[in-house]
Structure 1
Amino acid sequence: MVTPVAPWEVIVIGAGQAGLATARELVRRGLTPGSEMLVLDADEEPGGAWRHRWDSLTFGRAHGVANLPGMKLEDADNDLPASQVVSDYFRQYEENFSLGVVRPVRVKHVSDDNGLLRVETDNGVVLHSRMIVSATGTWQAPFIPWTPGIDTFQGRQMHTVDFRSASDFEGARTLVVGGGLSAVQLLLDIAPVTKTIWSTRRPPQFRTRPFDDNWGRDVEFKVRERTLAGLPPRSVVSNTGIPPLPEYLNGIEKGILVSRGPIARFRENGVVFAGAPEDPSLAQPRSWKPAAPQTFEQVDIVFWNTGFRYAISHLAPLRLRASGGGLAMVDEVRTVDPRVLVVGYGAGASTTGASREGRMAARAVVEYLAGK
C-alpha cells in the first residue's frame, strides 16, 4: 500500500502499455521509482486491459501487440490466450526494470493544490505530485449508446468487458451490436452455440487490403488531427476498418457477419429495426442486408460491442476539456496544463502509439522538471 510522502516528482496513473513505456523511459532518464516517481495501477495484477480479454482470443488472433521499449516479447505461443501472454510479458517487464508498480490503487480525482497536483485514491490516501502522466486507457469506461426503449428490455444485457465464454450464450437468441473488430471476433466465437443477429448503425467497414505500416500511419494522422483540435477521438474501426481476413470473409459467406442495420427501438422481448438502404458499392456488399423498417426480432441477450470512452473522469477537477468535447491538447501528450500529460489517448491508443507516446511523455516530464 502506498502512503503519503513529500511531493513526488511525477505519478504515472495506469500500468498498461502506455504507462509502462512511460515509466521505463522515466527510469532511463534518471528518475528513481519509489522516491521520485510512482506508478499506480487499478488492476490487481499486471497486464492492463489485456488481462481482461476472453480466453478464446489467442495471441495469434490478436491484431498486433507491439514490443515495449527495451525488452522484446519473444517466443510467444500463438495458441495461448493473448491475456496470458501479454500479462506475463508485462509482469516480466515491470520486474526487469524495477518499476515498483503499486496496485490495486484507483485514482478518483486529480486537482490543483497551491501549485501541486493533489491525487485522491480509492483507499483514502491523498498524494501530491509536481506532475502526473495519465495512462488509464479505455477499458474502465465501456460505452453503451442510449436507444429508445432500452430500459424496457427484460432480457440480459452485457458489454464486451463482461464476456468470458461462448457457453454463456448457449441456446439463446443473441443480438450483437457494434461494427468493430470485437463484434466481428465475438460473433464468430458465439455463433456455434447461439442464434446470432448482428446490428450496426452503418454498413460494416470491410477493407479491400490487409493492415500494413502505411495504413497504420494514415490512421494515426487522422486520429492525431482530431485530438489536437480538441475533439474526442473516434472509434478505432472508423479509422481502420475491418481487414479482409479469410475467417471474416467465411463468416460473411455463412451469414454470421451480415448486419441487419440500425436499431429503431427496444421492446420487452426484442428489438425493432429501423431499416436502411442497401449499398452495392461496399467492399463486401453481402455483409450489409438491412432489415425492412419496423421488422421485429425476438432476442434473449443484447451483447453490446459498442466500444469505450477514454477513462479520464479523474481529470475533471482540472477543467481540461476543450469546447469540442475532447481534452485541450498542446501536442500528442501535453495538455494545456503543463503539469498534466496523457498517453494512450487518441493516436496513442494503438500498441505502437502507446510506446511512442511513453517516450514523448517522459521527455516532456524531464524537461518540465528541469525548468522548475
Structure 2
Amino acid sequence: MVGGGNSGAQIAADLLPHTELTWMTRRPPRYMPDEIDGKALFDIAGRRAEGVGELGDIVAVPSVREARDSGPLTATPMNTRTLADADVVIWCTGFRPSLGHLAPLRLRDSEGRVAVDGTSAVEEPRLHLLGYGSWTGPASATLIGVGPTAKATIAKIAR
C-alpha cells in the first residue's frame, strides 16, 4: 500500500486481516484527533477559511484506530526495492492523476492515462489505481464514491 492519506490508511487497515501488507509513506502518518470523524471534519472545514490541513492527513475511522492501536498499521518509508518485490501495489497518493513516477513501467497512453480494467492496470495487473473519478470507478475521487470502488478492489485482491 502506498500513500499516507485517508485512502492509503483506510485500505491498508481493511486489508491487514486478509494479507501480509507493507504500508509505505513519504513521511510519518499524521492522524487527526480520534474524535474527528467525516461529519466533524466537514463542519470544521465549513467554519474555517484556512482549511483543516493542520489537523492531520488521516481521519482515524474505527478500522484505522483499531489497526493503529493494536500495532499492525505501521508506516514504512518509501522504498523502490520493496515495491519491486510486491505481488500487488495499490497506489493511493492524492487527488490529481500525477503518474510521472510510473514512467519506467511505460503504462501511460498518449493522453497520460493508464489503461485499467476496474482499478487494475491492464499492462501491469498487480498495480491498482484508486480515486481517479470515473476513470477507475463511479465518483471514486469523492469520499462517498471511493468506498465501493475500494471495497471491490480489496475483495478482488483477497480472492
Give the TM-score band, short-chain normalised.
0.3 to 0.5
User: In proportion to residue count, which structure has more strand?
Assistant: 1
- Structure number with the higher helix fraction is 2
**TM-score, scaled to structure 1:** 0.22
After TM superposition, the score normalised by the length of structure 2 is: 0.47
